[in-house]
Amino acid sequence: MSAASQPEFAVPRSPARRAAQLFFRTPSGVVGLALVLLVIICAIFAAQISPYDPVQYLPADRMQGPSVRHWLGTDLYGRDLLSRVIYGSRISLSVSVLSVSFALIVGGLLGALAGFYLKWVDTLIMRLTDVLLAFPAILLAIALLAFLGGGFWNLTLAIAVAFTAPFARVVRAAVLRSRDTMFVEASTALGASDTRLLWRHVLPNSLGPILVEVTLRLAYAILGEAALSFLGLGTQPPAPAWGQMIADGRPFLELNAWISVAPGLAIMVTVLGFNLLGDALRDALDPRLGR
């Protein structure tokens, strides 16, 4: 029997395959995945796709609107906006992926320890996250950058620190949930060590909510990176960071609004992609549907 003629309720046995099937039935999730892939492709193949060098001055082409020659127009120095927007995806994606990975590793480890050992370990780690969560995330990053100084790595570190506490919370909650299941109890009864329990049973069963959190956090990281670059606290010019480009265009809104509008559209499309993807993943992995 072909897959197409299968009745709606025929569910594959593997939870991962079931989730994948549910996911691909959600049109918004597929759109999100496509947008995210588009941005990733732009970032990887920026050099091949971009019509111009993103930092090259073309004095003869200054402050142009969209045209056949420059699809999104040019900025004050005649730099091609489309090329700058394409290259900007590299900064945006690398800062967000690096900072979210760092936050996931450190926050995840703290959360797993807190949820797994409870007692004083839990209290200590949770009070630490209270302190980090006492700041609006963007302010925490601004404060860190104020003292560390700007630039790619400090920017990444600042966003990573701001996101560590939320990850610790999510992973702790996920670990607490799977900790109470029968199979963990059974493994404990069979004499499995703590390390084995954590790595073989508890963490793999907490992957769903963590994956969703990672996807949605990437969207926040992109917005955060853009905001910090907009304030001049991110990568330094002439690097084509989207937030910085929006700030660059601010004095020239009446002359050529595209300088600010184009990078903003790029941010929106990227964040939209991650949001749609994250929401669809959450629905597909929803524990209420059984796993």
10 Å CB burial of residue 58 (0-12, 13-18, 19+) is middle
When asked if residue 147 is in the footprint of another protein (CB under 8 A), the reply is yes
The gap from C-alpha 288 to its chain's centroid, in whole angstroms, comes to 25
Closest CA to 47 of 74, 83, 18, 100: 83
When asked if residue 194 is in the footprint of another protein (CB under 8 A), the reply is no
Tell me which of 223, 277, 280, 284 binds another protein, using CB under 8 A. 223
When asked if residue 106 is in the footprint of another protein (CB under 8 A), the reply is no
Gap between the Cα atoms of 171 and 234, Å rounded? 29
Gap between the Cα atoms of 63 and 60, Å rounded? 9
Gap between the Cα atoms of 129 and 141, Å rounded? 15
Tell me which of 36, 202, 227, 281 binds another protein, using CB under 8 A. 227
Minimum distance from residue 36 beta carbon to another protein (Å): 12
Beta-carbon-side half-sphere exposure of residue 42 (alpha carbons within 13 Å): 24
CB-nearer residue toward another protein: 238 or 264: 264
When asked if residue 272 is in the footprint of another protein (CB under 8 A), the reply is yes
When asked if residue 63 is in the footprint of another protein (CB under 8 A), the reply is no
Specify the DSSP class assigned to residue 45: T
When asked if residue 264 is in the footprint of another protein (CB under 8 A), the reply is yes
Minimum distance from residue 104 beta carbon to another protein (Å): 21
What residue ranges bind another protein (CB under 8 A)? 127-128, 130-131, 133-139, 142-148, 219, 223, 226-227, 230-231, 233, 243, 246, 249-250, 253-254, 257, 260-261, 264, 267-269, 271-272, 275-276
